[in-house]
Amino acid sequence: MGMDRNTIIGFVLLGVLLFTYLFISTKNSHELQRQRQIYDDSVAKVKMLQESQARLQDSSKNKSNAPDTATGFNKAVSGTEKFLTVENDLIRVVFTNKGGQPKEVQLKAFRSFDSSFVKILDPAANNKISYPINTGVGSSQVGDLYFDEGQVTKNQDGSQSIRFKLPTPQGESIEHQFIIRPGSYLLDWDVQINNSERLFSQNNFNLNWHAQMVCTQKNLAYEKQLSKVCFSEDNSFDYISSKTERKFEKPVQWVSVAQQFFNTTLIAKNGFGSGDLHWARDVVDTSTTIGTVETNLQAKIPSSNAAALSFQLYYGPNSFYILKNTAPEMDRIVDLGRDFYSFVRPVNVYIIMPVFNFFKKFISSYGIVIMLLTIFIRLLTSPLVYSSYLSGAKMKALRPEIEEMKKRVNDKQKEGMEQMKLFREAGVNPIGGCIPALLQIPIFFALYSFFNSNIELRNQHFLWSKDLSAYDAVINFGFNIPAYGNHVSLFALLAVVTSFLISLYGMSMTPDQSNPAMKYMPYIMPVMLLLFFNRLPSALTWYYTVSNAITLILQWVIQTYIIDHDKILEKLKANRAKPKTKPKWQERFEQMQESQKKLQQSQQKNKNK
């Protein structure tokens, strides 16, 4: 077994995991068709609800004398939509009196791919929070009713209170109160109810949240792939991405509509008792809509004349530390390793993130920060990797000796035994060559998750890359090449070229060039990596390029300045002169080979007879 063979094993394992991830993340054609049907059904349901509400509005208008003299629920049905804008240092919120809720939310610190402020709640999309109430003539959705014009009050602590009151008959009332605080992405939302038994059947509060995700990144397809619906059920984090629905059997603390870098989350301070959600990813390639989420949640209204339900609405970035301080388990919205790859989450949380944040304090260029992070990781793994590079260099020094041995021995099995003997006498670890490739597996997937979810990399320039959170397109084709894409990523090319050079270096040290698979592996693996790397964030491909460059430099330095080939050969001669003691595993290996040889000879004799 040579170093190249073990390196190939390591790269094959890496390749299997890479394409396993692609298989898990990518929907098949049947799933696309099913999600399209779910999406169409959801749209049809919304249209039916709108038509039903329109009929109720027409009926109420006919019953009322005039809009100016309408009172109670008639006024709520036939009102006029009015807007109210409130903002702090982080968000700008436009409220509407229709449903008494936020209509539009802009994030002041973040720009979209078209340079406009990110609209995490887009008025052009179909977003609405609602719940049914009894109006005397049937049931109406609060999201379709018009509250009185909102009022804003500035509080002494710098916060602002926004109140919307629903016109109702005397003795009944519903009021929505929001509080927005400085330096916060959270809105406190209280639903205050008087005489709830008249407004709600059996005091059941059935909240419906209809949300549409709108693209905020240049790569719509990639953002769709990374979008999901997260939630906390029974104080335990979970999510759905490829699945389309979830039924809640236990109390729900919060539900989040999460995109690659932003999320909108509904938090219930006292929790919901039960509910369900439906998630349909938009399958139309030309649409800017990522998907639609329909959430139904149930709670009980306290039995009293004056009751209140307390919620919070989060409109903001997927920032680990912000979410960690917002609600329990919300930091897990940031994908730092889940499911099959959950083993890399501790690596990200306790190693990658602290080191990245440390370098970021002193250096403004995120590309340089990533380079320093790469050097740190290589230093951390250097004790293990160095020994493998050393073994590889020793194998190259032994190559003339192995070639000479092959000329003397024509039997393949005996060749293997003699080769293992040479390795043992020279102090070479034949399986050491796979260590660098195996080490890259957890590190690669840790950084894959980290760079995909790190919002700080958005719109950060480095060299030719305009956004380290997305691929660096130096050439755009204007058309799509299957399995490759519609662009050329230069960082991806550099990562692949350096990987190719590492493979060639490994081949130059192999003592056995007779295996065709080993001859072509240096060419096959880079092609596989190119197809995978071309759409990855340039932060990740830049890291891989720097890491590969360090590997090439280390191999050259060790081979040129550290390894003394003459000393290796002298050690080999000295070891040959010593009494030989074989390890047990080698004795068993030789016994197995000898038994196999005798079996082949016996079979050959039987054929000759």
Structural domains in the chain (count): 2
**Parts of the chain with a pLDDT under 50:** 1-4, 25-32, 39, 46, 49, 52, 55-57, 59-69
- Residue 598 within a domain: no
Please give the structure tokens belonging to residue 144: 């379709």
Give yes or no: residues 403 and 494 share one domain: yes
- Residue 396 within a domain: yes
- Residue 47 within a domain: no
Pairwise CA distance, residues 450 & 546, whole Å? 17
Give yes or no: residues 454 and 490 share one domain: yes
Q: According to the model, what pLDDT value does residue 414 have?
A: 67
Please give the structure tokens belonging to residue 458: 């958005």
- Residue 51 within a domain: no
Give yes or no: residues 357 and 229 share one domain: no
Please give the structure tokens belonging to residue 219: 């790569």
- Residue 471 within a domain: yes
Q: According to the model, what pLDDT value does residue 431 have?
A: 59
Specify the pTM: 0.75
Q: Buried (b) or exposed (e) across 467-487, using 16+ Cβ within 10 A? A: bbbbbbbeeeeeeeeeeebeb
Give yes or no: residues 278 and 379 share one domain: no
Give yes or no: residues 15 and 102 share one domain: no
Phi first, then psi, for residue 578 (nearest 5°) are -80, 155
Cα Rg, the chain, nearest whole Å: 32
Task: Annotate 196-248 with DSSP letters as a single string.
Answer: HHHHSGGGEEEEEEEEEEE--SS-HHHHHHH-EEEEEETTEEEEESSS-EEEE
Pairwise CA distance, residues 42 & 50, whole Å? 12
Please give the structure tokens belonging to residue 280: 């349909």
Give yes or no: residues 378 and 277 share one domain: no
- Identify whether the C-beta of residue 255 lies closer than 8 Å to the C-beta of residue 266: yes
Give yes or no: residues 414 and 530 share one domain: yes
Domain boundary among 332, 364, 381: 332
Give yes or no: residues 11 and 77 share one domain: no
Give yes or no: residues 129 and 188 share one domain: yes
Which residues face 140 on adjacent strands? 133
Which residues face 252 on adjacent strands? 233, 272
User: Which residue segment(s) compose the domain that 527 sits in?
Assistant: 3-23+348-584
CATH classification at residue 148: 2.70.98.90
Three-state DSSP class for 443? helix
Pairwise CA distance, residues 77 & 285, whole Å? 38
- Residue 554 within a domain: yes
Which among 539, 544, 534 has a CA at the least distance from the CA of 221?
Answer: 534
Q: Hunting for tokens 């500035």 — which residue is that?
A: 154
Q: According to the model, what pLDDT value does residue 561 have?
A: 74
Which pairing describes strands 306-317 and 228-233: parallel, antiparallel, or unpaired? unpaired
Q: According to the model, what pLDDT value does residue 443 have?
A: 80
- Identify whether the C-beta of residue 118 lies closer than 8 Å to the C-beta of residue 215: no
Phi-psi map region of 525: left, alpha, beta (phi>0 left; psi -120 to 50 alpha):
alpha
